[in-house]
Every structure is written in structure tokens, then in C-alpha cells.
Chains A and B, each alone.
Chain A
Amino acid sequence: MASNDPPDLPKLPPIRESAEHVLPPLPGDSTERGWEEAVEPAASVAPPDADAERRERRQRRATSSDRPRRQKAETDRREVTAAEPPERRRRIRTTDGRRYSSAGNGLVVAVLALLFGALFNAAGMHKASFNKQPGTERTVALALTGGLAGVSGALQLDRPRHFVQNVAGRSNADEIDVAIVIPEATTKPKPAMGTTPKPAVAKPPGKPKFTPQKKLRLWVAGDSLVITPGYSIVRAAGASPVIDSVGGVDGHVATGLTRPDIFNWFEEIRTQVKKLKPNVVVLNFGGNDDKAYMTGLSEGTTIGEFGGPTWQKEYRRRVAGVMDIVNRGGGMVVWIGLPITRSEAQTQRFDIVNAVVQKEAQKRGSKAIFIDTYTMFAGDTGGFAEYLENAKGDTVKVRAGDGVHFDPEGGDIIAREVLKQLNTTFDLTSWRQASS
């Protein structure tokens, strides 16, 4: 091939068109050098001597034994475009000397690879289908992947995937876990009598006290909405000598309390509360729960429409369950409510979720506080506002471009409110007087 000549040989005119700049890849430097020069020559017309070429090919196949027999396309006599005179056969190789393949080959490989890949990954795909929003797409996907998973399991093609998952320490990743294990509602009837004046019952002088030696342990968890305010809270906590943020921000996008199959929060919260022993758990759920669908229902139950009596009852049970898990683990719940959003319909749905959570929080007095972000993030006219004034009086962007999530400045507003609430519930300052 001409391009194997050293580039500085004087026999060629110095200025050449780009197709001529094809150089062999430089060794030992890049993984991909020379690729951009691989301009493909335009396809040409039929070779004058197609027979000679065919003979040449046959000969080549006969002489090289390592050549696979698959290239049926090469013998396709009608093909006219690979016009290479026999003596220049190296030309039909890539710049780094590999052989080309055909489009048909590529297509077959792609189809088979996706098919085999689907068999290898059937268990994961089945779970992903289960996690979809209800509808025909989910029904079809479930049926397809269910069958696929059956075939894959029967042929033991799911073994490699399970092996990899085991090595990576996520052996249960493909299990669909919809078990909602929450504490029995045993002590419910009592506080129902005095729901609102509960804070007065908590004895004001005996606020739990925290010091730099015995820090308040704080954990943040929830769906995507909790992530930005969560980091604001963790930062604010870091600035306080008496608050210790444990476990970072446990935020899982597209999760909630209605779909334990997507992410089982009941399980996660119980595990983490046991492990981290937090005094305060900041939670935020519901952003993805505004739908007429739930998994983890007992056999034969239907949930009805979103916000209807059955829906509300079941959602209340789940919210209460989460709060109870935290409370019984010795922690207090700070629940960040759902904010006003750009979409009015969504805001209305969020109102329904908020009402359920707020009621459950009130029942628990100082053991659960509801942070009302709805009013906090409404603009001057009471509607959605992407920009608000911060504590310094500057107009700052508080909401993300999607009209739902928070921007860091918005997170800071929430963090300030959370810290304020912690200061009223706990004694975080008296250690200063004691030490001075």
C-alpha cells in the first residue's frame, strides 16, 4: 500500500488531497490515531475484470487456512463496488491492516447480539418491565420478558449475570421485592383525641440536649427532590458543631412509597435506622407517587383512582409506617413536603399527597415535623416562582429548569428552615453557656 511509504519520500508532490493523507497508525501513542484520516474512497463502477478478481479471491481463500468461511458476501458476484485490482488487494483493509466486513454481517451480528444479550439479561429486563408505569407497554414488556426470563433460566443463561452481580456485591438486584414491612399500628387510637395541641404535651424544659461530645445524628433520604436540599442540609449541619450528618444523602431518583418494586424504601429505612441510629431523619417522598397505581398491595385489592378514599387510606398507611419505623428507632422525622410546581395539575396532585403526610405528622406531635415548601416557594402572587429572594435579599434561582426540582439556593432555603425546626425541638446551644 502506498501509504506504507515513509511520508517524507520526495517522489510525490508535496501537496495532496486529504484522502492521500492516510498514514499507518503511530505505535505506542494513541488508541485511535489515524481514524479520522480514514476517508473512504468513493465507490467506483464495475471493475473491468471481474472474473480475474473472482479467481484471485478463490485463490486467496484456498491459500490462507485461518480465513473464516463466513464471508459469503465476498462471493456475491453481483457486487460491483469493491473495485480493487487483484494486485492491490491489501487496499481493502483498514488503515491499521484489519479486514473490512459487510453491512449485512454487521446487521446479523447486531441482531444476534441483542437477542443473546436479552437472554443473558432477561432477569434484569423483567424487573425493569415490572417497574414501568402501568399501561399496555408494561403489559407487553412483562409478557415478553417473562417468557424470555423463563427461557434464560431453563438454559441457565442467567448464570453469568448472577455471577457478575455476586462479585459486585449486588446479588439481589434482580429480585422484585414488594413486601411492605411496617410496624403494627398499635397505639393509634389514643393520640386521635388531641391531634393538634400535641406540641403542648411535650415537656418544654426537657428538650433533648446535644453537645459537641454527644452530637445530634442526622440522616437524609428520599426521592430525587431530596437530593439538592439534602446536600444543603448536610452542609448546614457541617457548619454546626453539634450536628453530625450520618450516611450522607440517600436519594434515589424515580422512587417513592407507592412502588416498593422500584425501590423498597420500607426495607431501606429500617436497615439504615438500625445501622446509623439517627436522632433526626429528614425525608421527602411523594414526587413520584401521584399516580393511580401501587405495588405491594395485598392480594386482590385495587387501589382506585389517585387521591380517592382507597388510595388515601393505603398511602396514609405507608406514610405512617415510614414515620413509625423512624420513631421506634428513636429518631424524629422531618418531612419535607412537596413544593408548588410549574404545572398546576401536578401541584394539585401534590396537594393531595401533602395533606396525607401533614395529617400523619401532626398526629405525632414533636416526633414528626412537616416542612411546608408549598408556601415557601410560591412567588409574590402565590404562583410558581423560579426566582426568589434569598436571605441576603438577592434574587436567586431557586428552582431547576424542569419546574419541579430545586436549585442549590432553593435547597439552602429549606436547609435554613430545617435547622430552625431542629433548634426549637432540641437543645443545641446550652452547651455553649456551660462551656464558657
Chain B
Amino acid sequence: MLFPTATFAIFFLIVLPLSWLAMPKPARWRPFILIASYVFYGWWDWRFIFLLAGCTIWNQILAVRIHRATSQQQKKLLLWVALAGNLGVLGYFKYYDFFIDSSQSMAAIVGLDLPLSLKTIILPVGISFYTFMAISYVVDTYRGDFVPTTLEKFAVYLSFFPHLVAGPIVRPGELIPQLDTPRNPRRVDTSRAFYLIATGLFKKVVIANYLAANIVDEVFGAPGQHSSLEILIGIYAYAVQIYADFSGYTDIAIGLALLLGFTFPQNFDSPYAAVSIQDFWRRWHMTLSRFLRDYLYIPLGGNRKGKIITYRNLMLTMLIGGLWHGAGWTFVAWGAIHGVALVVEHRRRERPGYVEPPDTRRRRIISRLITFNIVCVAWVFFRSDSFATASDMLTGLATGWGEPSPLVTWGVLLAIAVGIGSQYLPARIPYAIMDRFGRLPVVGQAVVLAFALMLTNALGPEGVAPFIYFRF
């Protein structure tokens, strides 16, 4: 089930009251929400639920073992077993073909013909997200930061449907304690929930789809056929599209969880207002960034083992982060660009006698422009289906100025302006909107929301367009 569908609306309207009815008795609520989440997941393909259940049981067994293990050595061994299981499943579903394909072409270069066969593997929706949540559960247990909970609670934590298919990647310490006590039905931040759901829907259904259909797909499909201006605007449009698509979806997820009484961590914080790449990663897909930081960068040694190791760790983290997004070398290139940019930023700050320049308005504008454009260059690789397309895009940026640009329309420019401009709104404006909304009578609130639904539906495409982040 996708969020922006009538099927999901009906599903949620059934689950919402039942969830609150069951809420006073957590022992009743947990099996209920577990079933609801499995129905939600099985709607794609009922076979997926066995994978999710298997992942739950595997990690629960190992987390409990790790917790009970007496020696550090034993704990470590069990941790490796757990990680191998998780990464093995993820690797099988996501990277099997990529690995075989790449090793075959490499072997072919040296004249070998590897007898490996390619298979067709269907990627289960959301597997990357719940595998990562399972990993954080096991690792937090290993580190002693978290005491394993019951199988039932862990199963709810992993499968809770708002975050199941596209995040945010919630930590055990953030969600599992919320499963222990009934949520307070008098303290639901409905105005924020509805604000997030309505704006999330608009971002995802209207902005992202409009840009994809009107410029992005055309430009990335055949870069050689387009003028430099079209390519440039096409790249900016893609930057807005992927932000609107993904942040829109997780905003809806956070809003739905809020209506059910649960607080999820924030996932996007105006990423295109970042003043450096490091800043960008504090604002873009924040729950993934902190996952990579805490479970990859820091275990690698973080920045505590000297400059060279720090740079290596930054690069490795970004390269692996790139590969997580998809089995393709273009994603690795995307990670490499971010990695190099981070290393350069680190080096600049570590120069002897480096003083942080004063934070002036002009400086901030320049930093934001530079950061945004570096991010956009990386997006070119992220979106292109091959290096050939990416290089056509980048060379096309220089060679086709002055050609007619029929794809650069006012509608496209407006959608880009809304997508980027909304990230520069002062924080008080959305809060003021939520506050106003919260003061309206019930019918008034419903009319406002219905109006937002009307705008989204009237301006959105017919049918449901695919959502970018499911592939990851």
C-alpha cells in the first residue's frame, strides 16, 4: 500500500480508531498493530511478510544472546553473526546481480569467464530500511545502550507501518519505550500531524511528479537533445524532485505516526539551505546520516585516529552510503563526490591558523550556492542510468547555450522556486500555520484539509506515480 492512495486512506481510517480503542491496554494494542502492519506490508506481495518475520526472529534471538553472553569475545562473535545475517539478506536481494555482473566484467578484462549465473531477484519493498533498524537494535544491545525487549515489542518496532517502507530509520531507544506505555489520547499534536501529511502529499504528488514529467525525465533520458539551459534547469528540477518525493513521503510517515500517538525523529531539515556538505548531511535524510555516523563512521575510528584515517573513514562512509542507495557504480560516484567534498572541507578547517570566517549574510549566501551546486553535480550521477548519460549531462551543460529551451516553462520554474523557497521559510511561519489551524473548529480544520486534498488531486498526475525511494 502506498500512502497517497485511496486504499491506504481506507486502511488508515480503520486502523486509527481501532488503535486508540486498543491503546489503554498495550498488551491488546501490540498484537493489533502488528497484524495491521503485516497486512500493510503483505499488500505488495504476501511473500514479503515471511522475510520481515524472519528478520525479526533472527535479530531478536541474537540480540537476546548478545545481552546474555558473559564474555566480550562471545558478544562480539554473536554480533558478527547477526550482522552477517542481515547484510547477507540485504546483499542477496539488492546486490547479487550487481556483484555478479561487475565481477564478470572485471574477470573478462583479464580474460576469465566466470561460471556465475545471473538471476532475477525481486527486491522486497523497504528491506533496506528495516534491515538497518534491526542492525541498530543488535548493535545497541551489543554496546550495552539498550536492553533487548520482548519479541512482540521488537516485532512492532520493526514493522510499525508508518516507517516500514521508507523510513525514517527509528532507533530502538526512540520507539520501543513508546510501546511500553499507552499513548495519551489527549495529547496528540494533530495540527502538526495534519500539516505534515498535507504538505507531504503536495510535495510528493504535485511538485515531484510535475517536475519529473515535465523536464527531468526528458532531460536525463536524452541529454544530447537538450539545450544547456534545459539541462541546468533539469538538474535543479531533479534536486527538487528527489527532495519533494522523499521528504514528502517521510513527512507523511511522521504525521501518520503522530496521529497514532507516536513521535518519530525528524528526517529532513531544509537540506538545500545547508552552508557546507557537512551541514547538508545534518539536514538530508537525517536518520540515515546518523545511522551511518554511529554504526559505520565511528566504529571505523571516526576522527580520532589521525587525519588520514579520518579522511579514509569519511570516504568509506560516503561510498557505502552511496551503494546503499542502489546497486550501481553511478551511486558509488555520487558517494565519492560527497566524500571528497567532506574531506576537502575537513582539510580546510584543519589548516594551521585557520579561523572560522565571520558569519555574514553574504558569506552564507555564497556558501549555500556552492553547497547546493556541489550537491546538484552529485545528483547528476545519482539520477543518470549510466556514466555515459552523466557525462552527456555535464558536457551538455557547456555546449548548448543559446539553443531553444522549450522545456523551461514558467510552471517548471515555479515548482522549483516553491521546492527550494519553502526551505528558506523562517521556522515561525509553519508553526504559525499549525497554530492557526489548531485553533479552528473541527469542521474548519476538515475544510482546510479537504481543500489541500483538492489542490493535490487536481494538480497531481492521474494515477499514482512510482516513488523514488522504494528502490533503496
- Indicate whether A and B interact: yes
Q: Which of A90-98, A194-202, A289-297, A316-324 contacts B (4 or more CB under 8 A)?
A: A90-98
Cβ contacts under 8 Å, A47 to chain B: none
Cβ contacts under 8 Å, B425 to chain A: 31
Contacts known (A29-B427, A109-B190, A113-B445); A234 close to B225, Cβ less than 8 A: yes
Cβ contacts under 8 Å, A386 to chain B: 118, 120
Residue of B nearest to A40 (CB): B263
Q: Interface size class for chain B?
A: 35 or more
Tally of A-B Cβ pairs under 8 angstroms: 245
Contacts known (A113-B445, A117-B454, A342-B120); A27 close to B186, Cβ less than 8 A: no
Cβ contacts under 8 Å, B187 to chain A: 40, 81-82, 92, 100, 102
Residue of B nearest to A251 (CB): B217
Q: B394: shortest Cβ distance to chain A, in Å?
A: 16
Cβ contacts under 8 Å, B457 to chain A: 117, 120-121, 124, 161
CA distance A394 to B280 in the complex (A): 39
Interface string of B425-440 (1 = CB under 8 A from A): 1111111001100111
CA distance A33 to B269 in the complex (A): 7
Contact in complex: A102, B186 (CB < 8 Å): yes
Q: A388: shortest Cβ distance to chain B, in Å?
A: 11
Contact in complex: B222, A38 (CB < 8 Å): no
Interface string of B175-216 (1 = CB under 8 A from A): 001101111111111111110000000000000000000000
Contact in complex: B458, A121 (CB < 8 Å): yes
Contact in complex: B184, A40 (CB < 8 Å): yes
CA distance A408 to B261 in the complex (A): 45
Q: Please name 6 further chain A to chain B contacts, defined as beta carbons within 8 Å, in addition to the given A66-B439, A110-B12, sorted by A numbering.
A: A28-B426, A32-B266, A35-B265, A109-B445, A112-B450, A401-B123
CA distance A96 to B435 in the complex (A): 10
Contact in complex: B185, A103 (CB < 8 Å): yes
Q: Does A204 contact B (CB under 8 A)?
A: no
Cβ contacts under 8 Å, B225 to chain A: 234-235, 237-238, 245, 248
Contact in complex: A105, B442 (CB < 8 Å): yes
Cβ contacts under 8 Å, A105 to chain B: 188, 190, 442
Contacting residue for A73 out of B186, B443, B447, B462, CB 8 A:
B186
A-contacting residues of B (Cβ < 8 Å)? 6, 9, 12-13, 16-17, 20, 97, 101, 104-105, 108, 118, 120-123, 174, 177-178, 180-194, 217-218, 221-222, 224-225, 259, 261, 263-266, 268-270, 283, 385-386, 389, 411, 422-423, 425-431, 434-435, 438-443, 445-447, 449-451, 453-455, 457-459, 462-463
Cβ contacts under 8 Å, B217 to chain A: 227
Q: Does A380 contact B (CB under 8 A)?
A: no
Residue of B nearest to A399 (CB): B120
Contact in complex: A394, B222 (CB < 8 Å): no
Cβ contacts under 8 Å, B454 to chain A: 117, 120-121, 160-161, 164
Chain B interface mostly helix, strand, loop or mixed? helix
Contacting residue for B266 out of A36, A103, A238, CB 8 A:
A36
Q: Provide 29 A-B residue pairs closer than 8 Å at the C-beta atoms, listed in order of the A residue.
A: A30-B283, A36-B263, A36-B265, A38-B263, A42-B180, A79-B186, A81-B182, A81-B185, A92-B187, A98-B431, A101-B188, A103-B183, A104-B20, A110-B194, A112-B446, A113-B446, A115-B450, A117-B457, A160-B454, A165-B458, A168-B459, A227-B217, A235-B222, A237-B225, A239-B224, A248-B225, A249-B222, A397-B97, A408-B385
Residue among B174, B189, B265, B457 facing the most chain A CB atoms (10 A cut-off): B189
Contact in complex: A231, B222 (CB < 8 Å): yes
Cβ contacts under 8 Å, B174 to chain A: 39
CA distance A235 to B181 in the complex (A): 59
Contact in complex: B458, A98 (CB < 8 Å): no
Contacts known (A98-B435, A234-B221); A31 close to B16, Cβ less than 8 A: no
Q: Interface size class for chain A?
A: 35 or more
CA distance A164 to B261 in the complex (A): 35
- Shortest 3 CB-CB contacts between residues of A and residues of B: A116-B450, A112-B446, A117-B453
CA distance A304 to B411 in the complex (A): 44
Contact in complex: A26, B442 (CB < 8 Å): no
Q: B294: shortest Cβ distance to chain A, in Å?
A: 15
Contacts known (A103-B261, A248-B218); A109 close to B449, Cβ less than 8 A: yes
Contacts known (A26-B427, A114-B9); A249 close to B218, Cβ less than 8 A: yes
Cβ contacts under 8 Å, A165 to chain B: 458
Contacting residue for B188 out of A103, A237, A239, A407, CB 8 A:
A103
Residue among B16, B389, B427 facing the most chain A CB atoms (10 A cut-off): B427
Q: Does A253 contact B (CB under 8 A)?
A: yes
Cβ contacts under 8 Å, A103 to chain B: 20, 183, 185-186, 188, 259, 261
B-contacting residues of A (Cβ < 8 Å)? 25-33, 35-36, 38-40, 42-43, 66, 68, 70, 73-74, 79, 81-82, 92, 94, 96-117, 119-121, 124-125, 127-128, 131, 160-161, 164-165, 168, 173, 227, 230-231, 234-235, 237-239, 245, 248-249, 253-254, 262, 342, 386-387, 394-395, 397, 401, 403, 407-408
Q: A104: shortest Cβ distance to chain B, in Å?
A: 7
Cβ contacts under 8 Å, A112 to chain B: 442-443, 446, 450
Cβ contacts under 8 Å, B16 to chain A: 106-107, 110
CA distance A385 to B55 in the complex (A): 31
Cβ contacts under 8 Å, B459 to chain A: 164, 168
